[in-house]
Amino acid sequence: MTDDGSLKDGPPASELLRGRVALIIDDDPDFRDALGLQLAFFGCAVEFAENGEAGIAKASEVAPDVVLLDLQMPGMHGHEVCRRLRSDMRFASIPIIIITGDEEHASVLQALECGANDVLRKPVDPVELGVKIRNLAGLRVLEELRVEQTMLRDTMAIIERAKREWEITMDCITDAIILTDRHDRILRCNGALSGMVGMLSRDLIGKKWQAVLAGAGFVCTMDEQAQIEYRSPAGLAYDLSVSYVPGMPGLAAAVVRLLDVTAMREAQRQLEESHRLLTEKNTALEQANADLVTMQTQMIQQEKMSSIGQLAAGVAHEINNPIGFISSNLNTLRRYAERLRAYVEAVDACSGELPDAVRERLAAARRENRIDYIVPDIEALVRESLDGAERVKNIVQDLKSFSHVDSAQSRMADINAGLESTINIVWNELKYKATVERTYGDIPRTFCNAGQLNQVFMNLLVNAAHAIETRGTISVSTWSEAGNIFVRIADSGCGIPQDSLQKIFEPFYTTKEVGKGTGLGLSIAYDIVKRHQGEIQVESEPGKGTVFTVRIPVVEGPADKDNARGA
């Protein structure tokens, strides 16, 4: 130390330990105080502890830069204190200087083995102590720097390894992954993007990713669900997804991903194509099944009509002869009645020439036998019976004509006559519900299957009757126009809802109550009209009634064609 209080070739003594904190652990208070004053002279802050336990507690409290430790203390020995401090990671690097009056070399060596950095014997040279404290504190700083540097180097190695692992991992992903800043400039990207655009990763850094894709020939599109898709020049499809990174100003702002969905799009296309083909096949199967059901129903209906026709033929055969006998006998009886009336009139004319007694006897017999009532009544009964026989004959003929057993194939037919016979057949369904108004036009005959068309008219007439709840009107009219015959059947019934008009010709669709309709009548009628190259239309308004119009083209029969060719 120089005369001005400075250390030789060093700072002033008061600055030697400035900013340092020393912990003195010694059971001798006088020595503690004296040593404390010496350290304070060098600018060092001093803390005290009178034994080992208190010293360890104080070290935890103040975190000293150096510990000055006595060996010989009551309670915990200095060696034990030193071991405990060194076993605590907080104090592992704090310099520990043993200050002892013990001259035994073994004790000193043991103190060094317990972790002490140096040993000073009492009495202590203050300057030597100050310099050692300074040097040991400096060495501690250097050691801490070395440890931090080692840790930093290890950390950088870990970071570099993690970076390399990240790059390898990203390069193994077939999707293009792009890390961008808030201006869409590429910060990092994986190898998939480089392969897609044909550029090295280092050349992509700093470029806008949209411009990179556009420059490589990628085309951007957006579908109805706002999904963005990029198409490569080779036709590969990539779905775009962008995930924004919040709370990182100045760093990465978003992660852009381009997912190759080419295979998925192709699989989706094939699935849609398979679904379309399956739907078409299913539709065709449903149509075939519907056609089969319709055909089966029509066959059943034709069988029923054929059975009715056969029954009608049998009835006609069995009834026609008896009806002929009855009609002939009734006509004979009518002539007899006329002769009887002539005879009675002749008797009346001659009664004036008879004696009074005879005339009175004849008058009494005439009154008794009610001759004046019987003669005109016989004529009325015969007339009514002849009308009834004619009606039976007509009904049988209409039934036979309706079923057309004797003409199952197409033939020239009168549509008006077919309508009239059909009305007669279903009259029992109509007469209690409606007044039937007929307006038959002058229409030509046409080549058709009259039995099937009568079946159409029957279905429309019965439906019209069913649509009338109490009493109404059914109008039947026909006319010809532009080579077609039109049949119009209108009713004043309940009408058909608008949402049902497009469905009434579908098989099994019905607006009637459950159990009152099969839903096949109009479907069969529609099919029959179509087979005749015609059409059937419907107009209806709920609460006002329904109008069905059937158009049948006028077709020449084979004989008419032959005659036309011969002419």
Q: What is the pLDDT of residues 236-271, one digit of tens each?
A: 999 988 888 776 565 668 889 988 888 888 898 899
Confidence check: pLDDT of 406 > 50: no
Is 36 found in the same domain as 127? yes
* Residue 514, pLDDT score: 44
DSSP state of 247: T
Pairing of strands 21-25, 66-69: parallel
Is 237 found in the same domain as 110? no
Question: What is the average pLDDT across 509-515?
Answer: 55
Structure tokens at 258: 């381009």
Domain of 57, CATH number, reads 3.40.50.2300
Residue 289 or 14, more confident: 289
Of the listed ranges 5-14, 420-429, 456-465, the least confidently predicted one is 5-14
* Alpha-carbon Rg for the chain in angstroms: 63
Confidence check: pLDDT of 330 > 60: yes
Structure tokens at 379: 């004529």
288 is a domain residue: no
Which residues, at least 6 apart from 134, have a Cβ–Cβ distance to it below 8 Å? 16, 17, 20
Is 370 found in the same domain as 457? no
Is 65 found in the same domain as 32? yes
Sign of CA dihedral 502, 507, 509, 510: positive
Residue 7 or 200, more confident: 200
Find the domain containing 438 and state its range.
409-562
331 is a domain residue: yes
Q: Are 185 and 250 in contact (CB under 8 A)?
A: no
How many of the other CB atoms lie within 10 Å of CB of 97? 20
46 sits in which H/E element: strand 45-49
Confidence check: pLDDT of 4 > 70: no
d(Cα 251, Cα 265) in Å, to the nearest integer? 35
pLDDT tens digits, 84-116: 988 888 887 888 888 887 667 788 888 888 888
Residue 223 or 5, more confident: 223
Is 430 found in the same domain as 320? no
Is 96 found in the same domain as 81? yes
Q: How many domains does the chain have?
A: 4
Q: Are 430 and 463 in contact (CB under 8 A)?
A: no
* Residue 282, pLDDT score: 92
Is 115 found in the same domain as 34? yes
287 is a domain residue: no
* Residue 486, pLDDT score: 96
d(Cα 184, Cα 180) in Å, to the nearest integer? 5
361 is a domain residue: yes
55 is a domain residue: yes
Question: What is the average pLDDT across 385-401?
Answer: 70
Confidence check: pLDDT of 441 > 90: yes
d(Cα 426, Cα 432) in Å, to the nearest integer? 11
Domain closes at, from 260, 289, 316 = 260
Buried-state track 124-151, b at ≥16 Cβ within 10 A, e below 16: bebeebbbbbbebbeebeeeeeeeeeee
Q: Where residue 342 falls among pLDDT bands split at 50, 70, 90?
A: confident
Q: Where residue 564 falls among pLDDT bands split at 50, 70, 90?
A: low
Question: What is the average pLDDT across 158-168?
Answer: 83
Is 304 found in the same domain as 218? no
Is 558 found in the same domain as 413? yes
Which residues, at least 6 apart from 431, have a Cβ–Cβ distance to it below 8 Å? none
Is 18 found in the same domain as 138? yes
d(Cα 366, Cα 346) in Å, to the nearest integer? 14
Structure tokens at 242: 């962008």
d(Cα 135, Cα 95) in Å, to the nearest integer? 10
Domain of 467, CATH number, reads 3.30.565.10
pTM, full prediction: 0.39
Dump strand ranges (E) for 150-233. Answer: 176-180, 186-189, 219-222, 228-231
Of the listed ranges 266-280, 313-327, 379-393, 525-539, the least confidently predicted one is 313-327
Confidence check: pLDDT of 32 > 80: yes
Confidence check: pLDDT of 38 > 80: yes
Structure tokens at 559: 């004989």
Domain closes at, from 360, 382, 403 = 403
Average pLDDT, the chain: 82
Is 218 found in the same domain as 358? no
166 is a domain residue: no
Residue 508 or 26, more confident: 26
Question: What is the average pLDDT across 121-146?
Answer: 80
Confidence check: pLDDT of 335 > 90: no
Is 547 found in the same domain as 425? yes
pLDDT tens digits, 524-551: 888 889 989 999 999 988 888 999 999 9
528 is a domain residue: yes
245 is a domain residue: yes
Helices then strands, counting H and E runs in the chain, come out as 17, 18
Q: Which residue, among 485, 425, 494, has the nearest Cα to 454 in the 3D structure? A: 425
Domain closes at, from 260, 286, 318 = 260
d(Cα 376, Cα 337) in Å, to the nearest integer? 8
Confidence check: pLDDT of 565 > 60: no
Domain of 237, CATH number, reads 3.30.450.20
Residue 128 or 482, more confident: 482
Q: Where residue 382 falls among pLDDT bands split at 50, 70, 90?
A: confident
